[in-house]
């Protein structure tokens, strides 16, 4: 079967070094096996995203030589599609309205196993119709989760396990303002596009069990997962969007794309020297076993 991968950037800022690294590995994994790459703009949050930034992302990917075979519809245009999947969850009797406020959520619920959010205790699961009617605000909608252990066999992180009931709780699929959340949108979009492998930063590892659960409910097969390590500066700090000098707006002034790819490929263990190299050349030497599993330290001169 031909692999199908994707870039799923959020156009809320310029492409950052961490995005470049995850995008590079996603592209190499697919292209080293002659597969197809999809681009999708994750612009559900219309306040923080813009078409102009989406265009810059396309230009940055093109500059890097990380090409895509087709671009699918941006998430902001797909609420009608998400409605259909939401209705399917309703038909399965798996949804309920939640009226908890943000501060209640953080004070009542225990912290989440791995990502610092909370485990939802099910406060609104069994409200009666009369109790629901007494609230004068629009609810968010949560999907009920089963007491079941989910196992992610991650290409980078090895085995990751989570029981959604005890480690996450029923989770929101549609916000009170009607906007669908990332977990639902990403599952629908990857599933409909026939994505067979999801490669992204390891800050999203704990999202995989939620997405696997929704994939089962929607009748999609599970993709392979590869959650790539975070990039660290040599002084041990995790590089983030806040490091403005590491976004492509700045880096493109300083170096050629092949130099940047060469530094990243060397830092993650793919090549022996940090020499300039094109994405196409890297595809001929790529293999998952070469990529370092631990944090990756980077010096940019
Ligand atoms: N849109 C997310 C981001 O830019 C990535 C989501 C994903 O790859 O599943 O961080």
Tell me how far apart the alpha carbons of residues 26 and 22 are, in angstroms, rounded to a whole number: 6
Tell me how far apart the alpha carbons of residues 28 and 12 are, in angstroms, rounded to a whole number: 24
CA torsion sign for 183, 248, 250, 259 is positive
Distance 136 CA to ligand 1 centre (A): 34
> What does DSSP assign to residue 237?
P
Q: Residues with beta carbon inside 6 Å of ligand 1?
A: 8-10, 42, 186, 200, 204
* Pocket mutation for ligand 1, best pick of 48, 61, 200, 202 (most atoms within 8 Å of C-beta): 200
Distance 126 CA to ligand 1 centre (A): 33
Q: Which domains does the chain have, with CATH numbers?
A: 4-76+186-297 (3.40.50.620), 79-152+160-184 (3.90.800.10)
Q: What is the pTM of this model?
A: 0.95
* Pocket mutation for ligand 1, best pick of 15, 26, 42, 61 (most atoms within 8 Å of C-beta): 42
Distance 185 CA to ligand 1 centre (A): 11
Tell me how far apart the alpha carbons of residues 198 and 4 are, in angstroms, rounded to a whole number: 9
Per residue in 194-246, pLDDT tens? 999 999 999 999 999 999 999 999 999 999 999 999 888 877 777 777 776 78
Q: What is the pLDDT along the chain (301 residues), one digit of tens a residue?
A: 899 999 999 999 999 899 999 999 999 999 999 999 999 999 999 999 999 999 999 999 999 999 999 999 999 999 999 999 999 999 999 999 999 998 888 777 776 655 667 899 999 999 999 999 999 999 999 999 999 999 999 999 999 999 999 999 999 999 999 999 999 999 999 999 999 999 999 999 999 999 999 999 999 999 999 999 988 887 777 777 777 678 899 999 999 999 999 999 999 999 999 999 999 999 999 999 999 988 898 877 6
* Ligand 1 atom, smallest distance to 207 CA: 9
Cβ-based neighbours of 122, under 8 Å, separated by 6 or more? 169, 170
| R_g (Cα) of the chain, nearest Å | 20
């Amino acid at each position: 079967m031909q692999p199908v991968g994707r870039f799923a950037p959020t156009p809320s800022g310029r492409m950052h070094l961490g995005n470049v690294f995850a995008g590079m590995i996603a592209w190499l994994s697919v292209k080293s096996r002659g597969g197809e790459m999809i681009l999708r703009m994750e612009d559900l949050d219309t306040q923080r995203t813009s078409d102009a930034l989406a265009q810059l992302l396309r230009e940055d990917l093109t500059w890097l030589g990380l090409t895509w075979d087709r671009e699918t519809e941006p998430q902001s245009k797909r609420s009608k599609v998400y409605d259909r999947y939401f209705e399917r969850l309703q038909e399965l009797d798996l949804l309920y309205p939640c009226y908890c406020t943000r501060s209640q959520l953080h004070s009542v619920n225990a912290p989440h196993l791995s990502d610092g959010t909370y485990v939802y205790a099910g406060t609104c699961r069994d409200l009666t119709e009369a109790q629901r009617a007494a609230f004068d605000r629009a609810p968010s909608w949560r999907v009920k989760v089963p007491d079941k252990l989910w196992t992610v066999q991650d290409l980078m992180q090895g085995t990751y396990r989570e029981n959604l009931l005890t480690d996450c709780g029923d989770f929101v699929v549609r916000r009170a303002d009607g906007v669908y959340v990332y977990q639902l949108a990403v599952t629908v979009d990857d599933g409909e596009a026939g994505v067979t492998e999801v490669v992204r930063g390891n800050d999203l590892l704990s999202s995989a069990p939620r997405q696997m659960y929704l994939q089962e409910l929607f009748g999609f097969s599970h993709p392979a997962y590869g959650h790539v390590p975070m990039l660290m500066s040599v002084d041990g700090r995790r590089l983030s969007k806040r490091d403005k000098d590491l976004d492509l707006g700045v880096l493109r002034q300083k170096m050629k794309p092949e130099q940047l790819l060469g530094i990243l490929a060397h830092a993650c263990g793919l090549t022996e020297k940090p020499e300039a190299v094109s994405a196409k050349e890297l595809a001929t030497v790529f293999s998952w076993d070469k990529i370092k599993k631990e944090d990756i330290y980077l010096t940019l001169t």
